[in-house]
Amino acid sequence: MEPVTIIGAGLAGSEAAWQLARRGIPVALHEMKPRKMTPAHHSEYFGELVCSNSLRSDQLENAVGLLKEELRRMGSLILACADGHAVEAGGALAVDRHAFARAVTGKIRSHPLITVAEGEVTQLPESGEVIVASGPLTSDALAGAIKEFFPESRYLNFFDAAAPLVTFESVDMENAFFASRYDRGTPDYINCPMTREEYDAFWTALCSAQEAEVHGFEDKHVFEGCMPVEVMARRGHDTLCYGPLKPRGLRDPRTGKEPYTVVQLRKDNAEGSIYNLVGFQTHLKWPEQKRVFSMIPALKNAEFVRYGVMHRNTYLDAPRLLDRYYRVRKAPRISFAGQITGVEGYVESTASGFLCAVELAHRLQGKPPVDFPQETAVGALALYISNESVADFQPMNINFGIIPPLDHRVKGKRNKNAELSQRALQALEGLGEI
């Protein structure tokens, strides 16, 4: 059997390679790192997390928690490595990013049916089965080739941003406290409260801070789920107060009350020596980041080990181009996976790589495809991105809004979501061995 060509060894590409190989399908995995790097990547490892170390909620009352549980039950490589290198994060699944990426790389490189080819791919292969998982930072040459392949369609892009990192020892814990919102899970977040006066000064400085030049950047092209903090601030004085700085469910032990606003810090490594500013994706100039973010009382002497960066994300107009298996409608030997398909988020990218590889393995082995029902998170996501009735397509995180509602009323949102999750997992069991 000729190897399947996979372009890109991020989360989607690595997951797809693993799922094919474990089903006896040989794979040629192409990754341009370390020969060529992107502005957002810093290591040679596969599955590198560049925006956050968090894979978001791990609770079944949350749609991404359901998606992770589905992937776990089906033998996902990415979820196995994430669970094996998790760090405390309350009700979320966060990982030691470097240990996680090393684990993914080790698994991929050691599999006898996976051959890794280093170097940039600049053209779509003219024959054979292909999975393009080149990610939101697809190189200019390959992006150009993909545009030529889809001359009839819009080829879209937007921008997102990564948050800064600070050392734990530089956080002023006299002005901060450990807690998780509503005391759920373990108190793993560092919470940095601000008074109304402190927030007013911070907000004013943030709105007027100098931004780094990013070619082609406009606020309207930023994905809502990864919005730079300064863009949110410009939307109004209270926008941050109801967004990443919301104090709900957090009591300052010094006062016994909810602060006016709270900046949360989350572990970025297992040792807890580095913390991420939650929701502080930014493309401010680096000196401005130091000046403005140091106005947060707990961060007045913070040591920034990485400043926030802004980068381009590229994605397809998937409803016009791809089917429910992430295959190209006009050329089914080619599939796309990951954020380039318009699924947004690490877990969603993993799910797309998983589904696309399972379908391809079944096809090559003469088996019928696995049609994940819309009641499952994996199925709902694939059916959304391939839904031709979606006119103004935008990147999509998994959410319960794209999963069919229950046929009966349930009191309370969390209870309803829990029942939706249980229904999904039962539907998944009904599919048998995948």
Annotated binding site for FAD: 8-13
User: Residue written as tokens 């959410």?
Assistant: 399
Pairing of strands 54-57, 130-132: unpaired
Joined tokens for residue 320: 């016009």
> Phi first, then psi: what are they for 117, rounded to 5°?
-115, 115
Task: Identify any residues that bridge with 81 across adjacent strands, giving them in sequence order.
Answer: none
> Do 4 and 13 meet the contact criterion of CB atoms below 8 Å apart?
no
Say how far apart CA 69 and CA 198 lie, in whole Å.
41
The three-state secondary structure class of 100 is: helix
Residues near 306 by beta carbon (within 8 Å), at least 6 away in sequence: 162, 164, 165
What's phi and psi for 274, nearest 5 deg?
Answer: -130, 140
SS3 assignment, position 343 = strand
Q: How many helices (H) and strands (E) does the chain have?
A: 12, 17
Q: How far is CA 131 from the centre of its chain?
A: 19
Q: CA nearest 114: which of 237, 200, 24?
A: 24
Distance of alpha carbon 8 from alpha carbon 131, whole angstroms = 9
Question: Where is the binding site, in residues?
Answer: 8-13
* 114-118 and 92-95 beta bridge pairing: unpaired
SS3 106: helix
Cα angle, residue 291 at apex, residues 286 and 292 outer, rounded to 5°: 100
What tokens appear for 389 in the block? 């009735």
Three-class secondary structure of residue 414 per DSSP: helix
Dihedral angle, C-alpha 82, 87, 88, 89, nearest 10 °? -60
> Which among 186, 193, 199 has a CA at the least distance from the CA of 253?
193
